[in-house]
Amino acid sequence: MAEAALEHRTRLSRWLALMAALRHPKTGYVLLFGFASGLPYALLLGTLYAWLTDAKVDVETMGVFSLVGLAYAFKFLWSPALDRVDLPGLRRLGKRKQWIVTAQLLLGGILVVLSLLDPLSSLGVFSLLAGIGAFASATQDVVIDAWRVDVADEVATIDILSTVFQMGYRVAALVGGALALFMAERLGWPTVFASMGGILLFVGFLGLFAPDAERTVAALADERSNLGTLRQAGQMTPRVRAYALGAVALLWGWALVTVLVFMVRSLTATPEARPDSTEFVTQMGPLIVIATVVIPGLIAGWLESMRKQGRHVLTADAPARTAYDTALDHGYRALILPLAEIIGRLKWAAVLVIALVLSYRITDAIWGSFAYPFYLGELQYTKDEVAIASKFFGVGALIVGLALGGTLLTVIGRMTTLTLGAVIAALTNLLYADLAVGGARMQAASDLTGFTWLAGQFGADDRMARLMLTIGAENIAVGIAGAAFVAYLSSVVAKGYSAVQYALLSSLTMLVGTLGRPALGQMIEERGYYDVFLLTTGIGAFAVVLCVIEWVRQARSGRPENAPPPEPELV
């Protein structure tokens, strides 16, 4: 009886905590920033191509135009600067807000300027502005992710903030996708982009009043003290740190220049002289991952190992005496310490965390590119049917899934929800496998649950009902998994290093998904969609196993499951 009463009080306290978090002002700003993060992504990587199509821009040029999306995949390459560099005259806005508000105002201005151009006659300027907009949007994403981690507290928990952010992001996808198409049909594309730009300008104004993770005088003193700690006895010698910093900076610089050169060549060359994007991704992609993730991780791990063994360390304090010494310390803190901190804190578990990050959302990242060919080509649905099922009904189901995921995070815990999300996200691939061979089982499920009758009340036939049920089930599962995954990533990174660590981890999923698409496309051509969905289910099952292992690791660590992100330790 006493145990039942205790369990009841525990559940009640969790629901009360959820309600308190939802009423917190930070939650409203997270929703706003989630919307501001999702809107330019939906416009620049989706809706813009509908405008280019109406403007009679050729498909090959549009394919090259899509390379602006590389800014999102490689955003971690400039994330260290966002942690340490202040914008001239804007530092008073706050450590994170100075970048967030600037990016939002820049994006709003770019969308307004785009609305004044003709895509066909001004394609060069149009592509340049779209590229700048993609970099600004990716930069905004990095800083908002870091801001969300930094401002989380015991009331506005990281789990709730992460879920609300995802909801704002998905609402923006609906506004920048379906609503934009609806407006374009009636008002024209210039009005659409001018309106969307005005929305972002307004969001940037509201962002001025958002809370920020401010560095107080005491915090600044602690930061200077921590920087000085790098030159105390027992820390790595400046010479070794300089070699490590130079190697990592060279690798990340090479990767960034390689991507930028490829984008510039692709956007400025004639169709005959354009480099092959598939060849670039398959050949250079793995090298970029090795150069920016694997080798820097090994360097950071080696430095931590040497420090603990007392090798290549200072035997006495060696204070910074020149501007070069100070620049070395700042560069090392910005580029190396985030990697060394997470590897030093997680130790062997860093391999597990990276494996989980790589596999948890890879199914969505790979399969998403082939969704429309599957619906329109393989299943022969019309564009209107796909728009209704995927954009309207599907986005609604996704928002329901996110809300359910946020509730589960508070009620049953982070790792339980993460594992549940992995299970159901994997299983929903089997629903698509059934559609690929006729959809008899999905039709039976639709009839049995009464969904066929319900959809029929809105004019949908049996065939449309089973598509909507499949997409709805998948999107609810993806919503739960997405809410849990963002919360998990936010819990792994450390405050203070959040911009670099979160950008790096979140980029890994996009990179691997991009690398896997050519192989998956070839498999679809050779073996069909049914076998592909069985494969993606298997990949999802691998993620489930990793979730269970990570769950056990965290339970043994003794750290509370829903604890806020860790404070960094100087390594």
Instruction: Kindly state the helix (H) or strand (E) to which residue 395 belongs, with its residue range.
Output: helix 394-411
- Whether residue 276 is contained in a domain is answered as yes
Asked if residue 251 and residue 393 are part of one domain, the reply reads: no
Asked if residue 244 and residue 199 are part of one domain, the reply reads: no
Most confident of 165-179, 342-356, 403-417: 403-417
- 266: containing domain: 217-335
Asked if residue 503 and residue 378 are part of one domain, the reply reads: yes
Confidence of residue 544 (pLDDT cuts 50, 70, 90): very high
- Whether residue 116 is contained in a domain is answered as yes
Q: How many CB atoms lie within 10 A of CB 436?
A: 18
pLDDT of residue 465: 92
Residue 466, pLDDT above cutoff 90: yes
Asked if residue 197 and residue 224 are part of one domain, the reply reads: no
For the range 42-45, what are the long-range contacts, defined as Cβ-Cβ under 8 Å and sequence gap of 24 or more? 42/172, 42/173, 42/175, 42/176, 42/177, 42/180, 43/111, 43/176, 43/180, 43/193, 43/196, 44/68, 44/130, 44/133, 44/134, 44/137, 45/69, 45/72, 45/134
- Pick the more confident residue, 504 or 435: 435
- Whether residue 342 is contained in a domain is answered as no
Asked if residue 235 and residue 210 are part of one domain, the reply reads: no
Asked if residue 221 and residue 194 are part of one domain, the reply reads: no
Most confident of 215-224, 281-290, 444-453, 548-557: 444-453
pLDDT of residue 33: 93
pLDDT of residue 252: 83
Asked if residue 154 and residue 60 are part of one domain, the reply reads: yes
Task: State mean pLDDT over 416-445.
Answer: 92
Confidence of residue 536 (pLDDT cuts 50, 70, 90): confident
Asked if residue 126 and residue 232 are part of one domain, the reply reads: no
**Domain final residue, candidates 161, 190, 214:** 214
Q: What pTM was estimated for this model as a whole?
A: 0.71
pLDDT of residue 203: 93
Q: What is the CATH number of the domain that holds 379?
A: 1.20.1250.20
Asked if residue 162 and residue 82 are part of one domain, the reply reads: yes
Task: State mean pLDDT over 132-148.
Answer: 89
Residues 513, 547, 296, 323, CA torsion sign: positive
- Pick the more confident residue, 387 or 104: 104
**Domain final residue, candidates 272, 300, 335:** 335
pLDDT of residue 218: 40
Q: How far apart are CA 489 and CA 539, in angstroms?
A: 20
Residue 59, pLDDT above cutoff 80: no
313: β partners: 236
pLDDT of residue 571: 45
- Pick the more confident residue, 183 or 224: 183
The pLDDT tens digits for 12-56 are 555 555 555 556 667 888 889 999 999 998 888 778 877 887 787
pLDDT of residue 77: 74
DSSP 8-state assignment for residue 314: -
The number of folded domains in the chain is 3
- Whether residue 340 is contained in a domain is answered as no
Residue 138, pLDDT above cutoff 70: yes
CA distances from 489 to 170, 498, 559 (A): 19, 10, 16
The pLDDT tens digits for 212-250 are 765 544 444 445 545 677 888 888 888 998 999 899 889
Confidence of residue 111 (pLDDT cuts 50, 70, 90): very high
Asked if residue 139 and residue 11 are part of one domain, the reply reads: yes
- Whether residue 366 is contained in a domain is answered as yes
- Pick the more confident residue, 381 or 172: 172
Asked if residue 202 and residue 263 are part of one domain, the reply reads: no
Residue 104, pLDDT above cutoff 90: yes
The pLDDT tens digits for 403-423 are 898 889 888 888 999 999 999
- Whether residue 4 is contained in a domain is answered as yes
Please state which of the ranges 80-94, 113-127, 393-407 shows the lowest mean pLDDT: 80-94
Q: What angle do CA 146, 148, 154 make, to 5 degrees?
A: 130
**Domain final residue, candidates 214, 229, 261:** 214
Task: State mean pLDDT over 340-353.
Answer: 82
pLDDT of residue 570: 46
- Whether residue 383 is contained in a domain is answered as yes
pLDDT of residue 548: 94
Residue 67, pLDDT above cutoff 70: no
pLDDT of residue 253: 87
DSSP 8-state assignment for residue 315: S
- Whether residue 525 is contained in a domain is answered as yes
- Pick the more confident residue, 103 or 384: 103
pLDDT of residue 66: 63
Asked if residue 289 and residue 152 are part of one domain, the reply reads: no
pLDDT of residue 109: 96
